[in-house]
Structure 1
């Protein structure tokens, strides 16, 4: 029988608590330390099943105490969850560490507290488990303020009152330790809502913590005080208990500016609102009467008026959006009443839609574009956007909010997409600058090991400053690990997009062709070569084609041409590449001496105080003349033709790409084509 099959059967036998089958499979050669789904070993499974005999048997047969599951959990941490004291004792005798932690920093003691295993908790404490140990986690998670919780916080969060009582009264657990989000045990006790099943436990836990001096001024990660959380739980008992503490600031606000009374009125909770008002909560914040009227709650309105609240007509505040394109819709959104989703204000209807499925929003006052997704997709998207945080031309996530089973992804607002930009009749279009950014965006995505697979003009968005970002609104990107063919298909699509840009978006993307390029347009030869290179899956790839002569400035092209003569003049073999029958035949200016300004040719052939020279129609002679003219400038010629680069590229527009490709295709000179334009 194959080893994998034996190992699989061994794990199944342990799950089925079949000791005889386990012994038989071990005799047949099954690996006692084999791991199955998520890294579970037979020993860990036996511990989970609370089968002490099997645990002992496996240990005697060489099972590793310290083997870890994918989450870093060991047999001992699993025993903390199971809560079996005999197994915990056995594992300690065999060498387990009382305070060993999994990847997320959980110890067996913390697990016992989380799952409410009182007997196991007392046993572990008696053997030296650290009661106030804070969860240690990776440096990356710590930067995200994860970790740092204690066993007491776990018991409070899971509302195990008896465990909380043991930890505080018998073991001296510190009620004021803070986790990495600065929350103490009180905040954890109030964080899980008001489910009937655990409501009474929450009240008992909070009262116990208050009796033992817990800091009532602690806040959660959203700035909500214990009092605000108690109001959200709709618990008059907890609100009353907290209000008995003199140090409570009844009017403290969360990061959205809400007080406890504002939350109570928003929830139409008259009982709690009455408690707060009688304790002196301010009624002049948040236009409470207006909120009560929206709920059509006369009792709430009467209560508020009794405590001096008044209706204040809302005066539209002067606010001017940064966006010019979306100014009217943003002002309308700003002024309308909308229930907030966290810090997000959104009205997901047609008049606020800026692109298919993308809506205007205000997140904490910042103008954003919002995409609504289901939670599973939204969480996956957030994970991808975290990888984009350091990229210059990939659309970044600004913030996100969650409501029920939906995630709202908020992006910095853009003014238009690429198609709208190209078809806008106003203003000059810098196609080269746009394509530089488009190339860089795709390079950044490929560096993250993703292919885009949907390079549509609508997926490139442009901000107020003209900067272009690549988005993926259709969520079609794919990992390129082991699928390099996807990169090549991106390059072909990029070739079509280049044509679309260079032709000003006059035709739909799928209909535009090379014949639509205007032959007399600037950079025509370079643009044509770039598109053909992309379409032919050129071996240079995206990285190499990002340095293509199309992107070079005129000065760089001129410098490239004039320096080639210096590199080949003393080597007949190198000069001969331009004498190759194919290369010579394709030289676009076989009679260039008749095309150049006659005065330039005359001056260059008859230099002052130097022997007369003669230039032939060979390409090398044209390069030589360009180099000599630039190095020995003539005032008369300069006055006549102006900028040398502009002149030569206008007279010989196909020269750069001809020389570049001639060099690139010759193994002896290909490195001469690796010219670096400083602007790139």
Structure 2
């Protein structure tokens, strides 16, 4: 018998998936080679016109990158999706902005693409065209509605890292496209003073790249052009360098001269390392620029200028500095420790670096020292005569107006008050006592425990104080309530949204509605954004649940009590006050013929929440109360009058048998009947004949 032959296995044929991947790869290669014949053949073989190569590139995007109008048309006719996104969110349209081909841009717009669409890094086709100097494409996109002042939109995480926010003008400035810059400003009205998320305007973007040899001439031309068109000379880069410092680093006497001619410039401003423009000029041994600065009054008594010149063997520089009274003043800093824990590192840095003083104020207006951004500008850390402060910097006209408002807050306990102020070079520097965090930040930190009732008392008082000054706030959100190191809460309006009330009740009502959302936000620990939180998010087992619901409802309904009356709402009462209130009601109604009438207000909508309370209460307690020692027996019925009578009698005639069983009386009854206080309070308050029964004096209010 012959042995069985070994079976022969053929190599497996490629799967359909592998074939598709191969075709897709070949299609993208053919497109990038602009091989129209190969593209058609591959499509006929079944290649996916919308397949993606590395980094998510589609054939259509590759055709646009190759600047081939014929291939773009072909692929679109074959079903290519113009909306497909690369891994970075870019589309064929943003790629067309880079290529600068107006015909391709026109073709893609006909497919319904948005002219202001941006990729994941915030780049639009308009920005890409500016970035690559595609002036014809730029003009075309502008004619189609491109937003010339659109800032680079990035993720919230990147915003926190100060990324993004740049405009097309900044891109053109960074790349040195002078012609594009002129077109953007003169023909399209680009704003030269918009800042990116690092606080840099177009002038800073131009000068930061000016040190490169191939960018020097264009940077100087762009810089002078921006200065002639109102560029703000006090903007800084991410290292705190002003335009003047950057111009000195470029070693451009023309730009330095142009900047010094601007009256608003601070010649002695310093960067984050404490270097002034003169210090930079000395370090670079640029005598021409150093002399320009000295003639304009640059300080020579800060920094070790002579030592630097000597180290560089720059005898001419040392001689120049001595002509302008340069001296060596060693600075010895004591081991200073700020009071603020939150801002400790920034304050120590501010304390240690050189800054030109503004009166008694030391402040550094740059991003690392900024503690809050507002629609009116930044709030910065400062040291006023050694005191830690928050500084708001405004043009003198606006600053004087703000100063007058904050001075009105001087006698208010929970409105942010002005500490001191300084004026210099057309600016007003308003200084406030430094806070640690705002309400939103406080609630987001689990280690920070907040007494909600106490916090809301302060919040209510702050709003009442603002109303008493005649203003409605119009923006009662958690970020506008500031908390100092002692836990005290202050209300602020840095965005100037407040309005004079002047009899406009709707403004007050609007604040009360906003306050209702804020109450819910605080009570829910900031677990949801302010505009999303609702009463459904409240914990139903909270001891203040019923009172909190009623307080929110009262605020929303524009209750006739107003904020003054609602500040005395039962929600704010202590446990003992609530229990004393319930006891007091029986004492007030016991001699009335029709006691039940007290709880039957004409417009009452709520019914007694415990119609079977005798079945809810501890049976032994009820039996003892119905057969008390040394008093005649009494049978309690299931109504509010009898429940109040029992509460009053139990507390006024203590029985050790009951106390041993239920413990603290107030604790027991308020937990067993949590909605009783608010029901009784609203019932008597809404009854015109007995509303005075609801007047309660709580020392804690």
TM over 0.5: yes
Distance (whole Å) between structure 1 residues aligned to residue 367 and residue 401 of structure 2: 27
The equivalent of 1:298 in structure 2 is 318
Answer whether contact 2:684 2:690 (CA < 8 A) is retained: yes
Question: In structure 2, which of residues 619, 636, 643 is the aligned counterpart of residue 615 of structure 1?
Answer: 636
Could you tell me whether the CA contact under 8 Å between 1:577 and 1:583 is conserved in 2? no
Match among 405, 410, 415 for residue 394 of structure 1 = 415
* 1:268-288 CA distance string (max 9 Å, x none): 6899x9xxxxxxxxxxxx976
Aligned residue for 2:497? 476
Deviations 1:414-436 (A, max 9, x none): 00000011111113221110000
Judged with a 3 Å threshold, the aligned counterparts in structure 2 of structure 1 residues 500 and 297 are, in CA distance, closer, same or farther, namely: farther
**1:229-254: CA deviations, max 9, x gaps?**
xxxxxxxxxxxxxxxxxxxxxxxxxx
* C-alpha distance after superposition, 1:362-399 (max 9, x if no partner): 11111111111121111001111111101000000111
Aligned match of 2:444? 423
Which of the numbers 561, 566, 572 marks the counterpart of 1:545? 566
Match of 2:347 in 1: 330
* 2:668 aligned residue: 647
Contact 1:379 1:407 (8 Å CA) reproduced: yes
TM-superposed CA distance for 1:585, in Å, is 6.6
Q: How does 1:395-544 map to 2 (within 5 A)?
A: 395-544=416-565
Q: Distance in 2 between matches of 1:321 and 1:427?
A: 21
CA distance in 1, matches of 2:614, 2:604: 19
Q: Tell me the distance in 2 between the aligned counterparts of 1:407 and 1:319.
A: 28
Counterpart CA distance in 2 for 1:667 and 1:589 is: 24
Cα deviation, residue 653, structure 1: 0.3
Cα distance in 1 for partners of 2:308, 2:593 equals: 90
Q: Quote the residue 2:338 is aligned against.
A: 321
Three-state SS of the structure 2 residue aligned to 1:506 is: coil
Aligned CA-pair RMSD: 2.8
Q: For the residues of structure 1 that align with 2:464 and 2:601, how far apart are their CA atoms?
A: 36
Between the aligned partners of 2:296 and 2:404, the Cα distance in structure 1 is: 42
Distance in structure 2 (CA, Å) of the matches to 1:561 and 1:367? 49
**Are the aligned partners of 1:452 and 1:476 in contact in 2 as well (CA < 8 Å)?**
yes
Query: Equivalents in 2 of 1:664, 1:402: separation in Å?
Result: 54
Deviation, 1:524, is: 0.5
Which residue does 2:576 correspond to in 1?
555
- 2:395 touches 2:426 (CA, 8 Å); kept in 1? yes
Matched, 1:366 2:383: no
Instruction: Find the counterpart in structure 2 of residue 568 from structure 1.
Output: 589
Counterpart-to-counterpart distance in 1, 2:566 and 2:602: 27
- Count of matched residue positions in the alignment of Structure 1 and Structure 2: 400
Cα distance in structure 2, aligned partners of 1:679 and 1:651: 24
Deviation (angstroms), 1:580 = 7.0
TM-score, with structure 2 as normaliser: 0.54
- Aligned twin of 1:340: 357
* Match in the other structure for 1:355: 372
User: Aligned equivalents of 1:504 and 1:510: distance in 2?
Assistant: 14
Structure 2 match to 1:377:
398
Q: 1:349: how far off?
A: 1.9
Change over 3 Å in CA distance of 1:473–1:345 after alignment to 2: same
Aligned positions of 1:594-605 closer than 5 A: 594-605=615-626
Distance in 1 of aligned mates of 2:605 and 2:301: 83
Residue 537 of structure 1 deviates from its aligned partner by 0.7
- Between the aligned partners of 1:547 and 1:516, the Cα distance in structure 2 is 24
- Measured after TM superposition, the shift of residue 554 of structure 1 is 0.5
Unaligned runs of 5+ in 1: 1-266, 274-285
SS in 1 for 2:594: helix
Is 1:638–2:659 an aligned residue pair?
yes
1:222-241 correspondence to structure 2 within 5 Å: none
Q: TM-score, normalised by structure 1?
A: 0.56
The alpha-carbon distance between structure 1 residues 583 and 445, as it changes in their structure 2 partners (threshold 3 A), is: closer
Query: What's 1:55 paired with?
Result: none
